[in-house]
Structure 1
Amino acid sequence: MELSDLSVLHIMDNQDKDEKLYSLLCKTVSKITSSSTISEAKQQYLKQSPCLIIIESEFENRDIIDFLIEIRKDDIKTAFVVLSNNKNNQFLTELLELYITKYIIKPFDNEILLQALNKCMEIIERRIYSNFKLLNNIFFNFQTQSIIKNNESFVLNKKESLLMNLLIQNQGRVITYEELEYHIWNNECTNAALKSLIRDLRKKTNKNIIKNYSGIGYKLELKSI
């Protein structure tokens, strides 16, 4: 995958188009679509299915945050990059929970943006095109959102897929119960539903692959298997 393969949705938050930025993106990526309103961005997102969303905003309100939350309910693959003058963003914690790839303070050099685009490309490629090894003869395929176990494929349902992506993206740390409820159930989840989801995913992978940390949450445990 190359930078020239990326399709980009550029949300400008009611700002005038930055011609220098737009020119750089046109020369670098496959396709760039610009939107200056959330309504327009929603239409373009559904129409274009971009690989990357670049958000250029001062975050004077939470409209863009709510839009990105809606996207993340079903889409864990699209990368997010933020360009902003806001060094003290009150929504930064929420942005981090939405797994943005880079938060770039304006003004910035072109090289900074190109580095961010390359990082996005690596993440997108890993999420979409590759098999992630969970255990010998057990893999997660990002493109099909399925578990491949002993050469047999098991397609994950929506919640199982979201959980698997979250676990892989957060290797090395415990994902809290609150985070899981937020990303998978939009904060509407029972303990029984969470335990049932974990149990079902363990059946399709390995019983020891997802470790529970009592009172905290769950973590992907590959080294312990």
Structure 2
Amino acid sequence: MNALKHMKILYVNDRNSDEEYGVSELKDYCNNIIISNNSINAIEVYKEEKPEIVIYSISFPKIKEEEFIKQIKSINKDAQVIITTEHIDKKKLYNAINFHLIKYLAYPFNMNSLLDSLNECIKSIDSHTSNIIKLSDSLTYDKFNRTLLKNNELISLSEKETNFFDILVKKRDRAISYEEFNQIIWHGEMTKDALRSIVKDLRKKIDKTIIKNVSGIGYRLDI
């Protein structure tokens, strides 16, 4: 958590409420938090203060979140933005990928969820990489939110399909063994039929060729 102490965070509270959700706890981890209660004013604050991370808390925004994000990204295309909101729907998940956001967090969330999101921001800042991965012309994956788009449409995945695909993406430089899938997803109780069923269903949803069987070993992404 030492890195977080040295980060400058802009917290934008556009919820028509005096409540600054999570800010008091966050001050235990970060020494430099700037608070704005107006999303319009926050744009000017961002230009002046140049914070590394923005947390945008929305309910009845003066600026729609899409416009707010666009304005922030126009100032700094690598801006790290976390959106906290009342609920998350498919459009918001799509926006997370489209705008290269780190995370949408729905109220109520715990401090650990916020800290996880902030740590992902720090990783992106340090590595100059995004949590959004372009797998092909048609497929885009958000490895932090674990969401997948095909031709700009959100793909609905089961929990095991999500876990399987997430492993493939995060370890895409090599083949993943059957035993690894067994231990990580099925906790030692996998059957070959269960694994084949996951692969078959995923191939129907995304692309028959992107998941490659490596004989005698397991599976890998062919990208």
**TM-score range for the pair, normalised by the shorter chain length:** 0.5 to 0.7
Point out where structure 1 has 5 or more consecutive residues left out of the alignment.
128-164, 177-225
- Spell out the pairing of 1:81-160 with structure 2 (5 A cutoff): 81-88=82-89, 90-127=91-128
SS in 1 for 2:27: helix
Q: Distance in 2 between matches of 1:32 and 1:24?
A: 11
- CA drift at 1:73: 2.8
1:67 and 2:30 correspond: no
- Spell out the pairing of 1:166-181 with structure 2 (5 A cutoff): 170-174=133-137
What corresponds to 2:23 in structure 1?
22
Change (3 A) 1:62 1:175: farther
Q: Distance in 2 between matches of 1:20 and 1:91?
A: 20
- CA drift at 1:123: 0.9
- CA drift at 1:110: 1.1
Q: TM-score, normalised by structure 2?
A: 0.53
What corresponds to 2:50 in structure 1?
49
For 1:32, give the aligned amino acid.
I
For 2:25, give the aligned amino acid.
L
Q: Distance in 1 between matches of 2:88 and 2:38?
A: 23
Task: Note if contact 1:85-1:105 (Cα within 8 Å) is conserved in structure 2.
Answer: yes
Task: Note if contact 1:6-1:31 (Cα within 8 Å) is conserved in structure 2.
Answer: yes
- CA drift at 1:19: 4.7
Q: TM-score, normalised by structure 1?
A: 0.53
- CA drift at 1:114: 1.1
Q: Distance in 2 between matches of 1:60 and 1:86?
A: 14
Kindly tell me the number of residue pairs found equivalent between the two proteins. Answer: 139
Q: Distance in 1 between matches of 2:52 and 2:21?
A: 21
Task: Note if contact 2:15-2:61 (Cα within 8 Å) is conserved in structure 1.
Answer: no
Task: Note if contact 2:10-2:46 (Cα within 8 Å) is conserved in structure 1.
Answer: yes
- CA drift at 1:118: 1.0
Q: Distance in 1 between matches of 2:47 and 2:80?
A: 15
Task: Note if contact 1:81-1:102 (Cα within 8 Å) is conserved in structure 2.
Answer: yes
- CA drift at 1:91: 4.8
- CA drift at 1:32: 0.8
What corresponds to 1:143 in structure 2?
none
User: What is the aligned-residue identity percentage?
Assistant: 19
Task: Note if contact 1:38-1:63 (Cα within 8 Å) is conserved in structure 2.
Answer: no
Q: Distance in 2 between matches of 1:60 and 1:92?
A: 18
What corresponds to 2:14 in structure 1?
13
Q: Distance in 1 between matches of 2:63 and 2:39?
A: 11
Task: Note if contact 1:14-1:37 (Cα within 8 Å) is conserved in structure 2.
Answer: no
What is the RMSD computed on CA atoms of the aligned residues? 2.9
- Spell out the pairing of 1:187-198 with structure 2 (5 A cutoff): none
What corresponds to 1:58 in structure 2?
59
Q: Distance in 2 between matches of 1:97 and 1:7?
A: 25
SS in 2 for 1:104: strand
Q: Distance in 2 between matches of 1:23 and 1:62?
A: 25
